[in-house]
Structure 1
Amino acid sequence: MKKLTKISGFLLVFATALFFNTYAQAIGNSREINIAGVIIDSKTKQPITGAEILDENSRVIASTDDKGYFFAKLNKPAKGEIDFSFSVKKKGYRSFSQKEHWADQKDPGAIYYFGIRNKWRINDDSFSKMLPVKNDLVSYDTIIDRFKKNGDL
């Protein structure tokens, strides 16, 4: 019985060590990218509440608030170029997809300004604007200020 207890204890310690080692490697091999933005109606320029932002696997990663603001975190490999895509969906509007390919960088982040088209309006176009920022500069106020300075608002 003592031998079985020792083996069980050893296996528990080994499994715990293996888990923490794997977890530490996973954390060390990834980087977090913050993306945030404002989504508006492309014609009226009014914020769109409740639009969903989906990752490349069609998982909802964020949704917009009453100002049209969203914030999402993406985990990507720690080294190398950064590829990702996401889409914006809202009932009554045409879906909008965005693909990104960035160079390898240390503290990547981006802010977006999207205008999506009401699906019943034929002559309107959707649009997107992106500005690279450091990961911590993704608040609603920062987005509005940066796009105003850029001449987009």
Structure 2
Amino acid sequence: MSDHEDKHEESLLEKISEKVKGHDLSSSSSDSDDDKPSESSMKAKVFRLFGRERPVHDVFGGGKQADIFLWRNKKISAGALGVATVIWVLFELLEYHLLTLVCHLLILALALLFLWSNAATFIHKSPPRIPEVQIPKDPVLEFAQALRSSSL
């Protein structure tokens, strides 16, 4: 009974070694040059882990996002990880809310624009160009009238 188990284990090991080496051991065990596959055919066949057809870089899209996910550009990947960590700390640990964050960022942007436009005269630079937004009077009056009539 132990001989049968030993043969089964050996055949299992042979099958595993076949898969790893990529050629069939049962076909021939001679070392003649005729039986060996050519180098070009071996180079053309690439062995990938878990039998994948495409590289992981292509699976992730093959662009900059794949480089970030696979840490090929370490500075950008570390920056993305840092930003994600800061966002997680703000929202999860400090219980900060998205609306509060958006309002604080808008207030900061307005303060920076105000300081920049006032400091531009002292440092002789051109002030920031902020486009002028004009809302037509008629649609606003129609909207107000619709709100007023619907609330009565």
Specify if TM > 0.5.
Answer: no
Using the size of structure 2 for normalisation, the TM-score is 0.22
Q: Which has the higher contact order (CA 8 A, sep 6+)?
A: 1
TM superposition score normalised by structure 1: 0.22
Q: Which has the higher helix share?
A: 2
- The answer to which structure has the higher strand fraction is 1
Instruction: Indicate the structure (1 or 2) with the bigger Cα radius of gyration.
Output: 2
